[in-house]
C-alpha cells in the first residue's frame, strides 16, 4: 500500500482549478494549462476520481444501498432508489467529467512544455494521465451507457453528441493497449511525477500493473457479449510474467491525510459530519455472521466491516443489521466499522483481491490465464481478509469451511466467485455494483418502499442534459432503450 499523502494538494488545486459545473457554466472557456504544472492537474484528478468512487455521500454515491451493504437511519430516500431528489446523476457525472477528465486533459496539454518534468519522463507522465482518463471514461460508460465522448468538454461544441457505448468501450480498450505498449517500452523510466502522483508515487511499475489490471477487468466486463475478444484480452495480461497486481502492497489506492479537505471521505460522512446516517444492512450482516445465505461460517472481516451495536438492551458484541429502504435506529443496529472512520484510510481504485477474483472468473470461463479457478479464488479471499487486518490463519480456517471451500461451496462456479467478490468489494461500491450487474449474484433483495420495481442497473442522465442538450439527450435515451434505471447496458446481457 502506497503512503503518498495529500499534503500540498490544496495549493496545487488552486493552480489546477476546474471550470464551473457543467450545469451552470457549460460555455466557460477551458483553463489554460500552460500556466500551471501538470502535476497539479494530475493530483487533483486523482483525488477527485478516488473520492467519486469511494465516497459514501448520498448526493452522488448511494451504491452501498444498492448492493445491500448499508441501510439508512433517518433519511432512506436514496436507499429507495430515488436518484433525482439530490441530483445524484448530475453530481456523479460532474465529478468525473469536470473534476477528473477535464484536469487530465489539461495535464496532457501541459506536460510537453512542463519544465518541472524531465524530458525523459514525459512519455510516462502522459501515460499516467491516459490510464486515469480511461478508468474515468470506463466508469462513465458503465454507469450511464451512451455518453458524450468524441465531442465532450470541447468549448466549441457546447451541445456534444452522445457516442455509442459499445463504440466508446472498444475505443477505450484500444487506447489502453496503446498506453500499455508505451509503459512497457519505457519500463525503466519513472513518471517524473514523484510524490505529486498521489496514487502510485511516480512508479512506472505500478502504473503498468494498473493498466494491465484494468485490461483484465474490462475483458470480464464484455465477456458475456464478446467472449472471443474478452478471452484474448484476459490472456494477454498474463502473457508476460509480473504484469498484474501481485499482493496487497500493489493495491492501486490513494492514502488520504488527516487534514480536511484531504481526509478519507468516509471519515467526513461518518465522523466529521457529527451525523449517524448509516448502519449495516441486515442482508449483508446476517451473511457475514453465517446465519443466512450460502456461507455457514462467521466471516473474519465482520468486526472490521462493522462495529457491534451499542444498545444496552443487546448482549455485548451483537451485530445486527437494518432494513434497506426504511428508517433504522442508531443504537440497536451495527454501524460502519472503526477502520472505515480513519482519516487516512486509502481509497481503492483496484485491489489485488479483485484481480484474483477476476482471474478466478477468467479460469472458470476457460481462459488460459494460469493457475486454477480455485487457486485464484483462494488467493482473492485471503488477500481481502489480510487487507482488512485479518491473519493468514483466519483466512485458512475460513476457506476450510465446506460452505466456503471452492470445491464444496454451494452454487455454480460463477456464483461462488461472485459471492466472495461481493464480500471483498465492500469498500469499493462502484466496483461492487458493476460486478453484481455483471454476475447477477448474490440475489439481492429490492429495497423496501422502492420507487422503482428493480435495483438500478444504471444512473439516469443528468436533468441538465435534457435542458441544455435536449436533442442529443433524446437520441441517446432512445438508442439505449430508454433513460431508465432498469435499462441494461450493452455488456449487461443477463
Give CA 364 to chain center in angstroms: 23
pLDDT band at 129 (very low <50, low <70, confident <90, very high): very high
Residue 349 belongs to what H/E stretch? strand 346-350
| pLDDT of 11 over the 70 cut | no
Gap between the Cα atoms of 327 and 447, Å rounded: 12
Residue 292, preceding bond cis, omega within 30 degrees? no
Any domain includes 376: yes
Q: For 46-56, how does the pLDDT look when each residue is reduced to its tens digit (9 = 90+)? A: 999 999 999 99
Any domain includes 315: no
Contacts of 126 (CB under 8 A, 6+ apart): 108, 111, 182
Q: In this structure, are residues 60 and 95 in contact, taking their beta carbons and an 8 Å threshold?
A: yes
Gap between the Cα atoms of 338 and 82, Å rounded: 29
pLDDT above 70 as % of the chain: 93
Once rounded to an integer, what is the mean pLDDT over residues 118-143?
Answer: 99
Grid cell, residue 319, equals 451485530
Q: What is the DSSP string of 428-448?
A: -HHHHHHHHHHH--S-PPPPT
Domain interval for residue 401: 9-265+343-480
CA dihedral sign, ordered 476, 481, 486, 488: negative
Once rounded to an integer, what is the mean pLDDT over residues 60-76?
Answer: 98
Angle (CA) 243 249 254, round 5°: 100
Q: In this structure, are residues 67 and 432 in contact, taking their beta carbons and an 8 Å threshold?
A: yes
Count CA atoms within 13 Å of residue 194 on its CB side. 4
Q: For 156-166, how does the pLDDT look when each residue is reduced to its tens digit (9 = 90+)? A: 999 999 999 99
User: What pLDDT is recorded for position 261?
Assistant: 82
Any domain includes 330: no
Q: The domain that contains 252 carries what CATH number?
A: 1.25.40.390
> How many domains does the structure of the chain reveal?
1
User: What pLDDT is recorded for position 35?
Assistant: 56
Any domain includes 276: no
Any domain includes 390: yes
Any domain includes 189: yes
* Residue, of 32 and 408, whose pLDDT is higher: 408
User: What pLDDT is recorded for position 34?
Assistant: 46
| pLDDT of 177 over the 60 cut | yes
Grid cell, residue 211, equals 493498466
Q: For 340-374, how does the pLDDT look when each residue is reduced to its tens digit (9 = 90+)? A: 999 999 999 999 999 999 999 999 999 999 999 99
User: What pLDDT is recorded for position 215?
Assistant: 99
Any domain includes 3: no
pLDDT above 90 as % of the chain: 91
User: What pLDDT is recorded for position 420?
Assistant: 99
User: What pLDDT is recorded for position 36?
Assistant: 81
User: What pLDDT is recorded for position 17?
Assistant: 34
Q: Own/partner pairs for 10-14, CB < 8 Å, 24+ apart?
A: 10/261, 10/262, 12/37, 12/39, 12/40, 12/43, 12/44, 12/196, 13/40, 13/43, 13/44, 13/47
User: What pLDDT is recorded for position 32?
Assistant: 47
Gap between the Cα atoms of 103 and 107, Å rounded: 6
Average pLDDT of the chain to the nearest whole number? 94
pTM of the predicted structure, to 2 decimals: 0.93
User: What pLDDT is recorded for position 260?
Assistant: 83
pLDDT band at 490 (very low <50, low <70, confident <90, very high): very high
Q: For 287-345, how does the pLDDT look when each residue is reduced to its tens digit (9 = 90+)? A: 999 999 999 999 999 999 999 999 999 999 999 999 999 999 999 999 999 999 999 99
Any domain includes 391: yes
Q: State the Cα torsion 201-8-336-454 to the nearest 10°.
A: -80
Amino acid at each position: 500500500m502506497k503512503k503518498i499523502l495529500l499534503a500540498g494538494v490544496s495549493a496545487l488545486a488552486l493552480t489546477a482549478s476546474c471550470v464551473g459545473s457543467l450545469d451552470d457554466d457549460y460555455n466557460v472557456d477551458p483553463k489554460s494549462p500552460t500556466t500551471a504544472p501538470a502535476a497539479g492537474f494530475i493530483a487533483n484528478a486523482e483525488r477527485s476520481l478516488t473520492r467519486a468512487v469511494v465516497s459514501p455521500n448520498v448526493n452522488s454515491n448511494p451504491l452501498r444501498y444498492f448492493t445491500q451493504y448499508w441501510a439508512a437511519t433517518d433519511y432512506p430516500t436514496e436507499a429507495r432508489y430515488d436518484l433525482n431528489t439530490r441530483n445524484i446523476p448530475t453530481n456523479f457525472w460532474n465529478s468525473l467529467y469536470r473534476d477528473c477528465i477535464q484536469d487530465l486533459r489539461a495535464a496532457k496539454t501541459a506536460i510537453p512544455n512542463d519544465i518541472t518534468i524531465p524530458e525523459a519522463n514525459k512519455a510516462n507522465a502522459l501515460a499516467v494521465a491516459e490510464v486515469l482518463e480511461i478508468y474515468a471514461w470506463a466508469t462513465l460508460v458503465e454507469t450511464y451507457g451512451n455518453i458524450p465522448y468524441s465531442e465532450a468538454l470541447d468549448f466549441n461544441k457546447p451541445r456534444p453528441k452522445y457516442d455509442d457505448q459499445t463504440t466508446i468501450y472498444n475505443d477505450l480498450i484500444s487506447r489502453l493497449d496503446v498506453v500499455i505498449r508505451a509503459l512497457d517500452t519505457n519500463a525503466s523510466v519513472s513518471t517524473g511525477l514523484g510524490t505529486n502522483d498521489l496514487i502510485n508515487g511516480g512508479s512506472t511499475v505500478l502504473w503498468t500493473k494498473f493498466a494491465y489490471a484494468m485490461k483484465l477487468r474490462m475483458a470480464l466486463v464484455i465477456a458475456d457479449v464478446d467472449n472471443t475478444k474478452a478471452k484474448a484480452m484476459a490472456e494477454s495480461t498474463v502473457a508476460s510474467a509480473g504484469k498484474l497486481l501481485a499482493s496487497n502492497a500493489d493495491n492501486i489506492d490513494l492514502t488520504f491525510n488527516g487534514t480536511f479537505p484531504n481526509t478519507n471521505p468516509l471519515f467526513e460522512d461518518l465522523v466529521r459530519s457529527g451525523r449517524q446516517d448509516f448502519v449495516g444492512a441486515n442482508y449483508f450482516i446476517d451473511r457475514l455472521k453465517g446465519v443466512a445465505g450460502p456461507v455457514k461460517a462467521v466471516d473474519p472481516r465482520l468486526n472490521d466491516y462493522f462495529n457491534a451495536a451499542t444498545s444496552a438492551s443487546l448482549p455485548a458484541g451483537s451485530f445486527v443489521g437494518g432494513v434497506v429502504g426504511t428508517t433504522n435506529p442508531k443504537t440497536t443496529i451495527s454501524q460502519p466499522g472503526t477502520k472505515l472512520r480513519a482519516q487516512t484510510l486509502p481509497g481503492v481504485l483496484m485491489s489485488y483481491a479483485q484481480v484474483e477474483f477476476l482471474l478466478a472468473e477468467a479460469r472458470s470461463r476457460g481462459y488460459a490465464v494460469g493457475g486454477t479457478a480455485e487457486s485464484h479464488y483462494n488467493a482473492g479471499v485471503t488477500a481481502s481478509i489480510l487487507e482488512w487486518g485479518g491473519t493468514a490463519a483466519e483466512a485458512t480456517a475460513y476457506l476450510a469451511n465446506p460452505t466456503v471451500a471452492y470445491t464444496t461451496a454451494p452454487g455454480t462456479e460463477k456464483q461462488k466467485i461472485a459471492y466472495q467478490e461481493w464480500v471483498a468489494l465492500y469498500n469499493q461500491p462502484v466496483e461492487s455494483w458493476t460486478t453484481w450487474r455483471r454476475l447477477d449474484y448474490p440475489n439481492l433483495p429490492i429495497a423496501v418502499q422502492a420507487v422503482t420495481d428493480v435495483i438500478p442497473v444504471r444512473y439516469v442522465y443528468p436533468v441538465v442534459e435534457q435542458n441544455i442538450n435536449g436533442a442529443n439527450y433524446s437520441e441517446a435515451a432512445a438508442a439505449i432503450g430508454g433513460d431508465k434505471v432498469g435499462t441494461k447496458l450493452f455488456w449487461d446481457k443477463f
